[in-house]
A and B are shown apart, each in its own frame.
Chain A
Amino acid sequence: MTPRERIKATIHFRKPDILPWYEEITPETLIRWIKEGLPIEKLTLVELLIYFDGLLLLNDPTVKGFDPYSYFGFDNLWGCAIPIDMGPIPRFKRRVISENDRYTELLTDTGTVARRLKKAAYLWYNMPMWVGFPVKDRESWEDYKKRLNPNDPRRYPKDWDKDVYLEFYENYQGSNTIFAVTGFYGFGAQLMGIPTFNLMFYKDPELIHDMAEHWEFFTKETIREAIETLKDRIDMIFWWEDMAYKHGPCISPKLYREFFLPHYTRVTDFLKKNKIDRVMMDSDGNINPLLDLIIEAGITGLWPLEVNSSMDAVAIRKKYGEKLFLAGNLDKGELAKGGEAMRKEVDSKVPILKETSGYLPGMDHIVPAEFTLKKFKEYSEYIKKHLPY
């Protein structure tokens, strides 16, 4: 089977020849590993690339960077991504707003103000502190909405041509293809900040209804042409949400049902009409209380299933069966210890979930920068023994 066939089989609960293993590694983790002896020459990747911004020439070989996938033998869910611009247009002009010895404050191109530490052990890993947001109330929302016009021609690449793209995918699509969408919680939290967005469900519910309405319209209309054109090539929707923390979801099931469910159902119905029925939600934290509603909304997969947030893939599989394919859930803390702790963690989940398929084993989030190369190699060798059927 090809890597794409393996992933497609797995997320549709058919058994592949080898179970795909899914990890994501931060550039800072890779840099650490290079310092620890990871051979650079074996990782340099030159690729014919279709990627986010639509600016690359379709047949231009590009030095992509490092390719840990083939080196360690795990699968890349992001092999191809559809290059549609889902951000605000026009973008805000990035600039440094202020800085001192310790911090830099930047206006990002989505209009938020990010404070970054100048000296942090891991700059990428250490997320910025968001100190300003473009949407604060009804007036600023109306203003921002103008940047979210789905019909702006700049949303599609300059070279967008249905036939050319179809032909390209026909000839070159070797791996899984993802279309990335931002869910309404992720959308609202990015625009208003988590505390304000959460508060507004009570303080100004009409504003939230209007934002949700526009999110649905914007999402469906922006992606429509790409989805209808490439529906046979898209294997999965990656639905970024991040709507929970350790204790539970940021949003109650009651609010989810009222503000999210109707819009989500209409978007996933549109996808299903185009034969795209695999939608993987990316949310950190404990989303257990929302799982029934998430399924009702048309979400069919979950990642990363963080163990320290009480997410348990075996229990979810037992309860929900084939309603949800699962990815991740191997406790990165236990894996990083190596030895018996690592083996116990892998053994406690992978063989059980492999039996039913519908599971992409991997860490319960991006491989953290504290993970040593030696321990990752040990984990890599061990998990690979579990993958073949």
Chain B
Amino acid sequence: MSIEIDILKSIATAMGKLKDSGRIKELVGKAVSQGIPAVKIVESGLRRGLDLVGQKYEAGEYFLSELLFAGLMMNDALEILKPYLKLEKTEKKGTIVLGTVRGDIHDIGKNVFKMLAQAAGFDVHDLEVDVEPDAFVNKLKETSAEILGMSALLTTTRGEMKIVMDKLNETGMRDNVRVLLGGNAVTKRFAEEIGADAAALDAVEGVKICREWMGK
């Protein structure tokens, strides 16, 4: 048991300290060879490491480069674990429908959020950019997602978010979905004005909010 704890701790620490990707892969390989279940490696090793990255980001020690590199390390590690994860029962944290609103084709922040949300265990359906209001609604129906994430860079396009909110109300779906807004044009006040549940200042805060909503 102590070897297992040590390896998982090493994975979390290496991820948190952004050791090179090769080191993470080596540790994950070692964990697999020790018979540690893949789900446990993800939950108690990699995601714990990602939490450390998130904490350092919030503390102003890590910035965008560090988030992106942590995401890359996570993906490399998950590649190794993929065959094992297929055999084990994995629990999704929740489902998110995501996209940049109609008329807006900016996606950097949205993509960072997507990467972190997936790494945190969410199932993310990314509709990409310039998304029609009906496309958000249809995807929510299709996936029964608990969360809708909308992004807008421009103040000229954030009005689209209100159109989507109206559609959710018209179709009676509003009570079944939490709405999270993000992007440069969005403020917490704007989210309140249009009746969204929250606005995130950045991708890390966005994932934190989603985790709180799902109680995980």
Contact = CB atoms under 8 A, between A and B. Distances in A.
Given A194-B108, A246-B201, A247-B201, A125 B154 contact: yes
A247 B156 CA distance: 21
Nearest to A196: B68
A88 interface: no
A139 B118 CA distance: 32
Interface in A85-128: 102-103, 115, 117, 120-122, 125-128
Contacts of B61: 252
Nearest to A131: B105
A148 B154 CA distance: 33
A16 interface: no
A369 interface: yes
Given A246-B184, A368-B155, A370-B156, A252 B103 contact: no
A248 B154 contact: no
Given A128-B105, A203-B72, A246-B202, 19 more contacts: A103-B105, A117-B103, A117-B130, A121-B103, A122-B156, A126-B104, A194-B64, A195-B68, A202-B20, A202-B65, A245-B109, A245-B184, A246-B201, A250-B63, A250-B64, A252-B65, A308-B184, A333-B155, A370-B156
A255 interface: yes
B187 interface: yes
Contact of A120 (B20, B69, B103, B129): B103
Contacts, number: 86
B9 interface: no
A122 B153 CA distance: 13
A252 B62 contact: yes
Nearest to B109: A245
Contacts of A126: 103-105, 154, 156-157
Contacts of A368: 155-156
Interface in B160-216: 184, 187, 201-202, 204
A101 to B, nearest CB: 12
A315 interface: no
Interface of B: 18, 20, 60-66, 68-69, 72, 103-109, 111-112, 129-130, 153-157, 184, 187, 201-202, 204
B155 A199 contact: no
Nearest to B61: A252
11 contacts: A117-B105, A121-B157, A126-B157, A194-B64, A195-B108, A199-B65, A202-B72, A203-B72, A245-B202, A250-B64, A252-B62
A195 B72 CA distance: 11
Contacts of B184: 245-246, 308
Contacts of B153: 127
Contacts of A248: 60, 63
Q: Is the interface of B mostly helix, strand, loop or mixed?
A: loop
B68 A199 contact: yes
Interface residues of A, number: 34
Nearest to A249: B63
Contact of A202 (B18, B104, B112, B156): B18
Closest 3 CB pairs of A and B: A129-B105, A247-B202, A202-B69
A289 interface: yes
A308 B187 contact: yes
Interface of A: 102-103, 115, 117, 120-122, 125-129, 194-195, 198-199, 201-203, 245-252, 255, 289, 308, 333, 368-370
B69 A129 contact: no
Contacts of B18: 202
A308 B201 CA distance: 10
Nearest to B72: A199
Nearest to A129: B105
Contacts of B111: 195
Contacts of B108: 194-195
Contacts of A249: 63-64
Contacts of A129: 105-107, 129
A370 B154 CA distance: 11
A255 B66 CA distance: 10
A127 B202 contact: no
A198 B68 contact: yes
A103 B108 CA distance: 19
Nearest to A290: B63
Contacts of B109: 245
B106 A127 contact: yes
